[in-house]
């Protein structure tokens, strides 16, 4: 029996091979992250013994492990993915913990799996990987969008701070149209009510009127902005708006792709895909749970049936409060920072929606508040209950049943 630890990097990987009877390193190999490098590793291992006599392990860091992981799996190797947290803890307990190089990292991984003191990380299958890729891309686009909006908001606080008295959201269809035509208070100098209203002709979804146009003109006339750097600042604002429009379009495209994935017809011979689609349809029956929530959970958690019980699911999400000691009293603090951040955020937002749209969870929320719980704490309790419901529906592949919300499970 052989144990192979692989230290993953972007351009190359390092493998270390240990035997079952000795801690002596039998082989180390540095190989490129390409087909030739993978073949080089395969030839080395297959020259030592039968494939069935190897256990290979690597850390699940970023995406760099994925191609090698799938390659070795396809060749028939037993491949284990490790959480980097586990290897770091193992290193701390080892005598070589102060040494840091690629060979030692690979050896640490091999020694860890040989010791048996590890638990596997989870790798989702193709359908879940597709969901994860789209959702994380959308999340990164949303983060980028926020940056551009913050920059515009900061500039508006200088070049037309009074605008917010009329336009509450400068990034809706009305606000963006105005900013493109009049990026600063000084740009209203030659404007008129008719010219402003003409800006919105043909734009659906705006609620702009003559009174608002007149108010904007008055505010621009009396604005505290003195016109310093007007050309440069208007250029920057317009540049950000172009980026905002582009990213908004990309988010729409991403959401369309996500929706298409959710609504796709499963292949006739693919029972797993058919089951996933049935589960998605059943999760959609939960009042307050949107496709965005389902997408977030499936992208960050993969196949929920892998969770043995509700506590393991809650623990993975990190949907539990921290405990703070004050004298002899233990109080609940904010939600733990650990866990699947994006999934936890989506579930918290779904809990807020559920308080409005789900009779059973609305009752739970108000019951907890009436007992003295803070509203945020009550929302977390609702989110935990929602997680229980989602896991039960996922595992049993049944529709939402309001009569079972408070059944002990």
Kindly report, residue by residue over 301-357, the tens digit of the pLDDT.
877 887 888 888 888 888 876 555 555 555 555 666 677 788 888 899 999 999 999
pLDDT tens by residue, 94-110: 544 444 455 788 988 99
**pLDDT score of 220:** 95
pLDDT tens by residue, 396-407: 889 998 887 765
Q: Are residues 281 and 361 in the same domain?
A: yes
**pLDDT score of 322:** 59
Domain residues for the domain of 86 are 2-115
Whichever domain contains 194, its CATH number is 1.10.287
**pLDDT score of 100:** 46
pLDDT tens by residue, 38-53: 999 999 999 999 999 9
Distance in angstroms (rounded) separating the CA atoms of residues 300 and 211: 48
Q: Are residues 340 and 365 in the same domain?
A: yes
**pLDDT score of 329:** 57
Is residue 126 situated within a structural domain? no
Q: Are residues 373 and 302 in the same domain?
A: yes
Is residue 78 situated within a structural domain? yes
Is residue 218 situated within a structural domain? yes
For residue 406, give both structure tokens. 């408070």
299, HSE (Cβ side, Cα atoms, 13 Å): 26
Maximum average pLDDT range among 13-17, 124-128, 267-271: 13-17
**pLDDT score of 120:** 67
Distance in angstroms (rounded) separating the CA atoms of residues 40 and 46: 10
**pLDDT score of 402:** 85
**pLDDT score of 6:** 95
- Mean pLDDT of all residues in 4-14: 93
Is residue 259 situated within a structural domain? no
Quick one: pLDDT band at residue 409, thresholds 50, 70, 90? Answer: very low
For residue 169, give both structure tokens. 């959201």
The rounded percent of the chain whose pLDDT value lies above 70 is 86
Q: Are 169 and 175 in contact (CB under 8 A)?
A: yes
Q: Are residues 43 and 150 in the same domain?
A: no
Q: What's the domain count of the chain?
A: 3
pLDDT tens by residue, 11-40: 999 999 999 887 788 999 999 999 999 999
Final residue before a domain boundary, out of 81, 115, 149: 115
Q: Are 131 and 264 in contact (CB under 8 A)?
A: no
Quick one: pLDDT band at residue 143, thresholds 50, 70, 90? Answer: very high
In degrees rounded to 5, what are phi and psi of residue 121? -80, 170
Is residue 123 situated within a structural domain? no
Is residue 59 situated within a structural domain? yes
Q: Are residues 231 and 278 in the same domain?
A: no
Residue written as token pair 């069935």: 52
Is residue 304 situated within a structural domain? yes
Q: Are residues 83 and 196 in the same domain?
A: no
Quick one: pLDDT band at residue 123, thresholds 50, 70, 90? Answer: low
**Among 156, 154, 172, CA closest to 223:** 156
Q: Are 87 and 112 in contact (CB under 8 A)?
A: yes
Q: Choose the weakest-confidence range: 3-7, 100-104, 184-188, 190-194.
A: 100-104
pLDDT tens by residue, 363-406: 999 999 999 888 888 998 999 999 999 999 988 889 998 887 76
**pLDDT score of 256:** 87
Is residue 122 situated within a structural domain? no
**pLDDT score of 255:** 86
- Mean pLDDT of all residues in 230-247: 97
- Mean pLDDT of all residues in 257-269: 67
**Among 167, 14, 31, CA closest to 100:** 14
Quick one: pLDDT band at residue 215, thresholds 50, 70, 90? Answer: very high
Quick one: pLDDT band at residue 264, thresholds 50, 70, 90? Answer: low
- Mean pLDDT of all residues in 126-148: 86
Distance in angstroms (rounded) separating the CA atoms of residues 15 and 147: 41
**pLDDT score of 308:** 82
């Amino acid at each position: 029996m052989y144990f192979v630890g692989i230290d993953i990097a972007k351009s190359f990987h390092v493998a270390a091979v240990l035997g079952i009877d000795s801690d002596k390193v039998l082989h180390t190999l540095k190989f490129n992250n390409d087909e030739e490098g993978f073949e080089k590793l395969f030839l080395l291992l297959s020259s030592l013994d039968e494939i069935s006599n190897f256990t290979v392990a690597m850390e699940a860091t970023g995406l760099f492990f994925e191609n090698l992981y799938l390659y070795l799996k396809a060749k028939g190797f037993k491949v284990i993915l490790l959480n980097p947290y586990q290897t770091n803890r193992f290193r701390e307990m080892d005598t070589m913990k102060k040494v840091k190089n690629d060979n030692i990292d690979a050896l640490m991984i091999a020694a860890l799996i040989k010791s048996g003191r590890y638990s596997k990380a989870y790798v989702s299958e193709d359908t879940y990987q597709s969901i994860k890729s789209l959702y994380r891309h959308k999340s990164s686009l949303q983060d980028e969008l926020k940056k551009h909006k913050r920059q515009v908001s900061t500039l508006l606080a200088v070049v037309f701070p009074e605008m917010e008295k009329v336009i509450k959201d400068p990034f809706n269809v009305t606000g963006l149209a105005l900013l493109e035509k009049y990026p600063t208070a000084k740009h209203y100098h030659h404007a008129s009510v008719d010219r402003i209203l003409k800006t919105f002709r043909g734009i659906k979804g705006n609620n702009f009127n003559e009174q608002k146009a007149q108010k904007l003109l008055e505010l621009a006339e009396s604005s505290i902005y003195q016109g310093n750097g007007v050309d440069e600042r208007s250029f920057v604002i317009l540049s950000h708006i172009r980026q905002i429009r582009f990213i908004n379009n990309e988010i729409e495209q991403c959401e369309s792709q996500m929706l298409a994935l959710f609504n796709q017809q499963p292949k006739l011979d693919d029972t797993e895909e058919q089951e996933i689609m049935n589960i998605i349809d059943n999760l959609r029956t939960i009042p307050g749970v949107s496709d965005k929530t389902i997408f977030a959970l499936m992208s960050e958690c993969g196949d929920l049936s892998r969770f043995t019980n509700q506590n393991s699911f809650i623990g993975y999400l990190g949907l539990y409060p921290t405990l703070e000691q004050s004298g002899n009293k233990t109080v609940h603090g904010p939600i733990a920072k650990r866990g699947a951040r994006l999934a936890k955020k989506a579930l918290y937002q779904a809990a807020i929606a559920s308080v409005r749209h789900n009779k059973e969870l609305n009752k739970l929320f108000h019951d907890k508040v009436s007992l003295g719980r803070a509203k945020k704490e009550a929302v977390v309790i609702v989110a935990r209950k929602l997680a229980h419901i989602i896991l039960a529906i996922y595992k049993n592949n049944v529709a939402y049943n309001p009569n079972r919300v408070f059944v002990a499970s």
